[in-house]
Amino acid sequence: MDCVVTGGAGFIGSNLVDALIARGDRVTVIDDLSSGKLENLERALAAGAHLHRADVRDAGAVTAIFEAARPQAVFHLAAQIDVRRSVEDPAHDAAVNVLGAINVLAAAQGCGVRRVVNSSTGGGLYGDAELLPTPEAHPIRSLAPYGQSKLAAEGYFELYTRLHGLSTVSLRYGNVYGPRQDVHGEAGVVAIFCGCLISGATPQVYGDGRQTRDWVDVADVVAANLLAAGSAVSGPLNIAGGEETSVLELIDALGEAGAEHGLTLAAPRFLPARAGEVNRSRLDVARAASALGWRPTVGLREGLERILAGLL
């Protein structure tokens, strides 16, 4: 199958590209390399993937790439993901996350794409939810422009389904972690703490560390994308580990994993909490289980072991 992956040089995108190549798909990657890394695609490019260095905000470039690739499936992962930057510059955040999504949708609709899978956010949309685990129908209460822009993008995906009959689905991720993770966005805390473990640096915790996240391994996120591409389900789907884990519990788990390799994680330094960040997050993944047959398979401790094995 011919596929386009926007943001394919990034952390999640490059892992997805590898999976698509491994199953025999022909893959075209769109990435401006502003945060994605060329080295993430070394194996995929050697195996025949094609990289176009382009910005999804450039409608003409996106359309030309789609017309040349003629994909059956599109995976849209290109985004501005830094919560703090979205607070500082909401116009830039919206330009990438909303206008970029519209350009991808327009190109897909114009080229007769069969299926478009959108990468969205869970905790960034629900904010400090009243109900945990939080289902997709919960009221949206974004605490930062990032979540608001991702919600707007979801709206455009559903609009293109209603208006043009384009088959779309939006996957609302928990806090994704795993190999190739960068330090941008709140999910990057796992990568940051792993770096501290190896270098001996002091991890920094914003707030009291009791804030919780719903971490999900990138391998499970990739599996969800593949299942979603092969399905007809529409609307939003939560993709997460389905468990609530505090930052302090994450530090303990990483410390235990590191100890098995003779590494000691320094005691954290506590700093003031940052604006726009969620206090508690745990997503209800029942709809993904029923609609896709998807469930998380990699526990946090196992996932941390995989990261350390690749770093040591």
Q: What would the DSSP string read from start to end of 24-62? A: T-EEEEE---SSS-GGGGHHHHHTT-EEE---TT-HHHH
- Token output for 174: 């928990």
- Token output for 303: 């996932």
> Has 206 been annotated as catalytic?
no
Report how far residue 97's alpha carbon sits from residue 170's, in angstroms, rounded to the nearest whole number.
13
Report how far residue 303's alpha carbon sits from residue 15's, in angstroms, rounded to the nearest whole number.
14
Cβ contacts of residue 178 below 8 Å, gap of 6+?
Answer: 11, 15, 217, 218, 219, 303, 306, 307
Cβ contacts of residue 99 below 8 Å, gap of 6+?
Answer: 57
Which amino acid is present at 12? I
- Determine the length of the chain: 312
Report how far residue 265's alpha carbon sits from residue 244's, in angstroms, rounded to the nearest whole number.
22
DSSP at 188: G
Choose, from 126, 146, 173, 177, the residue flagged as catalytic: 146
What angle is formed at CA 235 by the lines to CA 234 and CA 239, rounded to 5 degrees?
100
Cβ contacts of residue 128 below 8 Å, gap of 6+?
Answer: 141, 143, 278, 279, 280
What positions carry a catalytic annotation? Answer: 146
